[in-house]
Amino acid sequence: MPLLRTFLNLLPSVGTYDVNEPVEFQITDTFSVPFVGTVVSGTLLTGVIHTGDALWLG
């Protein structure tokens, strides 16, 4: 897993994101992970998400 994470961090960014734009994240799938809870996956359309950010769903 550490090798995969290192590889993914070396990939160039696909696009540019304006840090001043509100976050818009399109959820495309959900997973129920034992002992973790619900995990979502999707595409970040605008804005930037940082570790620890609180997001509103709706």
pLDDT, position 17 = 75
Q: What is the pLDDT of residues 13-58, one digit of tens each?
A: 777 778 899 999 999 999 999 999 999 999 999 999 999 999 888 8
- pLDDT of 1 above 90: no
Distance CA 27, CA 57 (A): 10
Query: pTM above the 0.85 mark?
Result: no
Domain ranges of the chain: 15-58
pLDDT higher at 1 or 40: 40
pLDDT higher at 17 or 11: 11
Q: Taking a C-beta distance cutoff of 8 angstroms, is the pair 31, 10 a contact? A: no
